[in-house]
Amino acid sequence: MDISDRWYALNNPAEALQKRFEQRRDQANLMKSMSSYKTAAAYSVSSLSDRLSASKKWIALARKYDTWSLAYAYSTALYLLNRSVLQASNIRDRHVRLISTGVSGKEIAVEAASHAIGTCRLRSAIEMLEQWRGLMFYQLGNYRTPSDDLEAVNKVLSDRLRELNVAME
């Protein structure tokens, strides 16, 4: 079996076990399904988009059946989303990756925080929201035009921009 095909070998049984659980209501199938999604999400040889897809399915299943692994599934998805975005070499590619994952990072962060609050883990809720906020601020920081480049064209405008940046911070 090709190494890249291993993710599919891990993900497909998870889906089959999930369907079997939904038909028979055997808790063992539910646990095996989530375990397979967890393994597929952690399989580092697979693409980050495949791993995010597995974590998204894991979240949906854990949320639906209110299982112990939901917090870990959220944490895994946020980690993978961060990795996916940060691996891109430029701003445009980061934005494309963020959109192409089919996963709303904000939605995951808010749901994860909500779950953490509901289970009295306030510190974890703050950490998850801060992780998402940090990624967004990192993205926004890269959208700034370097004032040195502007200074070469228009010193007065560059000085004004620096003043505004200081005032906003």
Residue-wise pLDDT for 93-108, tens only, equals 766 766 666 566 677 8
C-beta neighbour count of 68 within 10 angstroms: 10
- In order of 18, 96, 100, the CA distances from 47 in angstroms are 23, 15, 13
DSSP code for 121? -
| Average pLDDT, rounded, for the chain | 78
Question: What integer pLDDT is reported at residue 123 of this predicted model?
Answer: 92
- In order of 3, 31, 66, 71, 167, the CA distances from 61 in angstroms are 26, 10, 8, 12, 47
Dist. CA 34–CA 157, nearest whole Å: 56
Q: Which residue has the higher pLDDT, 91 or 25?
A: 25
pTM of the model: 0.67
Question: Which residues, other chains included, contact 88 with Cβ-Cβ below 8 Å and sequence gap of 6+?
Answer: 94, 96, 97
